[in-house]
Structure 1
Amino acid sequence: MFSRMTTAIAAAICLTAPAALAQENEWQPDRPINIIVPWAAGGSTDQVTRVVAPILEEALGTQIVVVNQPGASGSTGTATALDAPRDGYTWTANAIANNATYAVTGLVPDTSIEDYRIYLHVANVPMVSVNADSEYQDFPALLEAMKNGSVTVGTAGINSSGGMALAALREEAESDLPGARMITYDGGNPAVIAAASGEVDATTQLAVEQSEMVRADRLRALTVLSDEPLELEGIDPVPPITEFLPDFEVAADYFGVFIPVGAPQEVYDTVDRVWEEHVMNSQALKDYANDRGAVFAPSYGEAALERAMPVVIAEACARVERGEAVIDPSEIGIDCDAG
């Protein structure tokens, strides 16, 4: 009898634990929350959002639905999130540099990072890889072909991490890399698959999107856009870009979840607490970062914005230099002439 009663009590505690957590919150959602991922399934944003979603579900006591809505370098799904009712039930996810600079390129007009409450979780790093059977054995050989030959590079578009990485290489290589032709896909995962299958010669997407293909010997990693080697279990250390281009400026590429402003304050207060108490201590998120080659770096609010501003400024101002800007970054509070 005692054993059966103990088992029943334990089961009841397990069943009611999420509800108990939710009752501690000031805001108690009464329906599912949608997180719009503006990229295809399987890419970097989609991967990490699906790791974070169950953590939020348990803490908030409601279902978190991840909705993939790719298109126009992530701007289609982002615009959908901004156009939704500001009631706290529609969020979006992305690299913060994207949400902060869509207006600069005209992809999502009249917006800035001030339109969101910011919740960051990991920092990612782009990696340059080629098909495992490629003739390019190292980055200098590929770079030479980008300058004087013909190389197709798969990315998720000019506003994606892979597109921005290719643009940064063009700037730092003291060449427009006329031999590098970008082929765009609806997300990082399709771009990486295209490189692994030989549909394109190379990819500059994020390491988290490529790590499994490198482990499976379908891609050969040549360099990582970092000032430190990338070390992943089962993969030889990937040399940093600064080994080949010493003046390459590296800014951490932070990813996160963004809640449009205008919802009741209790929404943000509750998610702030959930982020601090659950996401910032999540072993599942730490394991994901360690396994895929990301940096575990959760933060929220003003601290998150301060941490991410170097990459926001770098990307916004780079668009001006590359002639991609429709408006001056100063119009959305980004000063390219500062410091």
Structure 2
Amino acid sequence: MKSAYRSISAVAALSAMIVGAPVAQAEWQPDGPVSIVVPWSAGGSTDTVTRVLAGELTEALGQNVVIINQPGASGSVGTRSVWDADHDGMMMAAGAAADLGAYPVLGMLDATLSDWRLYLHVANPGLISVPADSDIEDFGQLLEALQTSDEPLTVATAGLTSAGAIAMGAIEGAAEINYRQIVYEGGNPAVIATVAGETDFTSQTATEQVDMIRAERLRPLAVIASSPLELDGYGTVPPVTDWLADVQSANNYFGVWIPADAPQEVFDTMDAIWENSIMDSEAMKAFAAERGALFDPSYGDAAQEAAMPMLSINAWQQYDGGTAENSPEDFGIPRP
């Protein structure tokens, strides 16, 4: 009996270790589902990557992590709902750090970038693409049309501070162009609109466009970067700097964030998950490779530093263009 009892006890102990493994890496153990608010519509760059991340966090935390889509006001509506909720780690926000840090500059949210603890995973470059049946064959032809057309060319974006709007601001900073943004509730609707012929082109992220590119419904012309983009199933997309050397670009980091005054045990747990699980996540790596994104996770101070170059570009674009009511300098955002 003692031998049998010891065997049963050993199995039970081993089972407890296996079951407890996901939450054993730090102290915080949520007592219910954790919510991540995606402040954009379903199917866009924030939504798709956050759903992959939610699966990884569910396994690591031992609790379900659910996605709530809450679009509006360039992502500030959903982000504000997290800021206004209890700062206990049970509700996180997702998105692009360049948007998050620009909200106080735009007067949309008082919380600055340093008021959040950042957990970054991928960077998503902006991509200039036209419908597959467009007469425009390369970015040089599009640039000529933007500079010479009497009527403004139309570009589909997700609106103020979105990757598409930042991309167009970067081009506008390097060349005099004539265009008009047609704004949609997210990157995915913007891309679909361009495929449908509602606009002349789109400038949303590669992640949002890659399916339509592989299906030969969109033709990519240039990536908003200083180096080419390799897209699986398509090939190489040249950098916009091949035509406009002075275009400002930086990695557009995406991730999740928690108010910085949440309990320390929440951050200890999330830091451990990022270090031990997300940094080497095969699911996240596969997503990035398949979607034309850069897998480059970081958290804490390193994430704040990584996010600043694109935030600087975005915030100063808005301020110099007269869109923002507050100077980025007031929030410690240096001019790029």
Could you state the TM-score of these two structures normalised by the residue count of structure 1?
A: 0.92
| Structure-1 separation of matches of 2:307 and 2:75 | 19
Identity %: 49
Cα offset for 1:24? 4.1
Q: Secondary structure in 2 aligned to 1:209? A: helix
Find out whether 1:146 has 2:146 as its counterpart.
yes
Do the aligned residues in 1 keep the contact of 2:288 with 2:294 (CA within 8 Å)? yes
Letter in 1 for 2:224: L
Do the aligned residues in 2 keep the contact of 1:155 with 1:162 (CA within 8 Å)? yes
Counterparts of 1:162-241 in structure 2, within 5 Å, are 162-173=164-175, 175=176, 177-178=177-178, 180-241=179-240
Correspondence for 2:112: 112
Do the aligned residues in 1 keep the contact of 2:37 with 2:70 (CA within 8 Å)? yes
| Structure-2 separation of matches of 1:21 and 1:205 | 36
Cα offset for 1:13? 7.5
Counterparts of 1:128-139 in structure 2, within 5 Å, are 128-139=128-139
Paired residue for 2:161, among 155, 159, 162? Answer: 159
Cα offset for 1:260? 1.2
Correspondence for 1:5: none
Correspondence for 1:320: 319
Would the alpha carbon gap of residues 14 and 183 (structure 1) be closer, same or farther in structure 2, given more than 3 Å must change?
A: farther
Letter in 1 for 2:315: A
Do the aligned residues in 1 keep the contact of 2:170 with 2:249 (CA within 8 Å)? no
Would the alpha carbon gap of residues 196 and 19 (structure 1) be closer, same or farther in structure 2, given more than 3 Å must change?
A: farther
Correspondence for 1:304: 303
Correspondence for 2:72: 71
Q: Secondary structure in 2 aligned to 1:245? A: coil
| Structure-2 separation of matches of 1:181 and 1:321 | 18
Find out whether 1:41 has 2:42 as its counterpart.
yes
Cα offset for 1:17? 3.8
Do the aligned residues in 1 keep the contact of 2:25 with 2:273 (CA within 8 Å)? no
Cα offset for 1:247? 1.8
**Pairs aligned (count):** 326
Would the alpha carbon gap of residues 18 and 211 (structure 1) be closer, same or farther in structure 2, given more than 3 Å must change?
A: farther
Do the aligned residues in 2 keep the contact of 1:154 with 1:195 (CA within 8 Å)? yes
Q: CA RMSD in A?
A: 2.0
| Structure-2 separation of matches of 1:17 and 1:74 | 39
Do the aligned residues in 2 keep the contact of 1:211 with 1:292 (CA within 8 Å)? yes
Letter in 2 for 1:267: V
Correspondence for 2:285: 286
Do the aligned residues in 1 keep the contact of 2:124 with 2:254 (CA within 8 Å)? yes
Q: What stretches of structure 1 of length at least 5 have no aligned partner?
A: 1-8
Cα offset for 1:89? 0.6
| Structure-2 separation of matches of 1:275 and 1:69 | 25
Q: Secondary structure in 2 aligned to 1:324? A: coil
Q: What stretches of structure 2 of length at least 5 have no aligned partner?
A: 1-9
Letter in 2 for 1:124: N
Deviations 1:20-42 (A, max 9, x none): 32144301100111100000101
Cα offset for 1:85? 0.9
Deviations 1:119-143 (A, max 9, x none): 0001110000010001111112112
Q: Secondary structure in 2 aligned to 1:117? A: strand
Counterparts of 1:72-87 in structure 2, within 5 Å, are 72-87=73-88
Find out whether 1:267 has 2:286 as its counterpart.
no
Would the alpha carbon gap of residues 13 and 182 (structure 1) be closer, same or farther in structure 2, given more than 3 Å must change?
A: farther
Letter in 2 for 1:169: I
